[in-house]
Amino acid sequence: MSVEVKLTGVTKRIGSITAVDQLSLSIKPSDLLFILGPSGCGKTTTLRMLAGLSDPSEGRIHFDGRDVTDLTPRKRNVGMVFQNYALWPHMTVEDNVEFGLRMRKLPRKERRERVAGVLSQVGLGEYGKRKPGQLSGGQQQRVALARALVVHPDVLLLDEPLSNLDANLRVQMRELIRDLCKTNNLTALYVTHDQEEAMSIADQVAILRDGQLEQIGPPDEVYAKPRSEFVARFLGETNILKGDVASIADGRVELKTSAGVIASTNHSGSPTVGEQVSYSIRPESAHLRAALPEECSLSGRIVETKRRGHWLRRRIEFGGGASIIVQEALGSERNDGDKVNVAIHPHDVSILGVGANGTGHT
């Protein structure tokens, strides 16, 4: 069974600090929502309030319309994967996984079947009799996941579950988590500060900053259409530039910038002519070639080149002193000092934080 989760005006104050500030969002049934944000932005606090481990100072939490705000954790039927797994070291793998079923007073036979089933689902069928201390980090992670899944939770909560694993294992595990969520048809909330994890497997991402919701949406949309400088920068490398609105027609905004004239068809607010705005262009959206008819064209000079994995990052300086970073495939024969043409599609130019001097608050 999957439920809809709804937070309405949830606030958490700890002493004089407001950790979560008037947070309202909802997770559709069977969706995997990622809460992303830097350390201290309130994402773990939000998760703990959903689990019932921490009480909101204000606001309500609903699971499928049922108000769970004042319920203890045991009455919410959630499953949770803790950052450091929180496996009980004195119990075997089986006992750890079985714990929630015992608390729910399920018959012994059913408990055994479900434990065996979920352990084989996470690929640990052989490890039931071991203690957590005898397992590797990745295996412990799977046990934690099995323990959370076996109770058939209404909501699965994951608190930076992969942060203690090495890079290769992280990739494997995140795929497994996605598969398990989808197979079991679970509504899940996943907290992380790793944007790559979010971009890879999330259905929705919510970006939190200082306890407030900055933006929420499908990962591709949030990446491509960041509404603030904070979101744009948090989700990956980007160029933030400033310009004045010269004209607006049919959703196309012409910007006069020190680099030249740039057009944008990607904005969420309603800019006005003459207003100064900030805009974001991702390095991979700017191309070193002649512009196609619908693209804007800027002329500049390569001033610096750095190798970044399989790509080159080139800094292009324009006449007015502005510069942007452009991504180019390895093997290009251009050199620093060369004059180049930069082509950018108006779709890839995101106007940020309209009306707030471009600092990115929405």
Partner 1 sequence: MKRRDAGQYALLAFLFCVLGAFLVYPIWLTVRGGVASDPVTGRGFTLRYLELVFRDPVMREGLVNALMIAIATTALCILISLPLGLVSARFDYRFKRFWDVAVLVPLILPPFVGAVGLKAMIGRYGALNSMLGTEWDILGTARFWGVVVTLALHLYPIVYLNVVAALANLDPSLVEAAKVGGATGWQRFRRITLPLIRPGVFAGSSIVLIWSFTELGTPLVFDYYRTTPVQIFNGVKEMDASAQPYALTIVMLGVAILMYATGRWVLGSSKASSSTRAFRAAETPKLGGVGTALANLMFGFVAFIAVIPHIGVILMSLSTPNTWYRTMAPSSWTLENFQLALERPIVFGSIINSLSLSLIAALVDVVLGVAIAWIIVRGRVKGRAILDGLAMLPLAVPGLVMAFGFIAMSLRWPFGKGDPLEGVIDVVGVSPNPMPLLVIAYAMRRLPYIVRAAVAGLEQVGVELEEAASVFGATTAQKFRRVVVPLLTGNLLAGALLVFSFSMLEVSDSLMLAQQEQHYPITKAIYALTERLGDGVAIASAMGVWGMALLTITLTSVSVLLGKKFGAIFRA
Contact status: 79 vs partner 1 (CB under 8 A): yes
How far apart, in whole angstroms, are the C-alpha atoms of residue 235 and residue 249? 30
Which of these ranges, 74-82, 165-173, 200-208, 212-220, lies near partner 1 under the rule CB under 8 A?
A: 74-82
Size of the site for partner 1 (CB under 8 A): 25
Q: Are 341 and 297 in contact (CB under 8 A)?
A: yes
Contact status: 84 vs partner 1 (CB under 8 A): yes
Rounded least distance, CB 296 to partner 1, Å: 52
Which of these ranges, 13-21, 45-53, 168-176, 278-286, lies near partner 1 under the rule CB under 8 A?
A: 45-53
Rounded least distance, CB 8 to partner 1, Å: 19
Q: How far is C-alpha 103 from the geometric centre of its chain's CA atoms?
A: 33
Given the structure tokens 């089933």, which residue do they identify? 117
Which of these ranges, 66-74, 235-243, 300-308, 332-340, lies near partner 1 under the rule CB under 8 A?
A: 66-74
How far apart, in whole angstroms, are the C-alpha atoms of residue 288 and residue 297? 10
Q: Encoding tokens for residue 224?
A: 């491509």
Rounded least distance, CB 128 to partner 1, Å: 17
- Sheet with 276-281: strands ordered across: 260-264, 252-257, 239-249, 276-281, 350-352, 266-267
Contact status: 90 vs partner 1 (CB under 8 A): yes
Contact status: 258 vs partner 1 (CB under 8 A): no
Contact status: 107 vs partner 1 (CB under 8 A): no
- Sheet with 286-288: strands ordered across: 286-288, 339-344, 296-308, 311-318, 323-329
How far apart, in whole angstroms, are the C-alpha atoms of residue 228 and residue 324? 18
Contact status: 72 vs partner 1 (CB under 8 A): yes
Closer residue to partner 1, CB minimum distance, 50 or 277: 50
Contact status: 65 vs partner 1 (CB under 8 A): no
Kindly tell me which residue out of 145, 151, 206, 342 binds partner 1, with binding defined by CB under 8 A. 151
Max CA pair span of the chain: 76
How far apart, in whole angstroms, are the C-alpha atoms of residue 210 and residue 346? 31
Kindly tell me which residue out of 29, 59, 73, 217 binds partner 1, with binding defined by CB under 8 A. 73
Interface residues with partner 1 (CB under 8 A) are 51-53, 55, 70, 72-74, 78-80, 82-84, 86-90, 99-100, 103-104, 147, 151
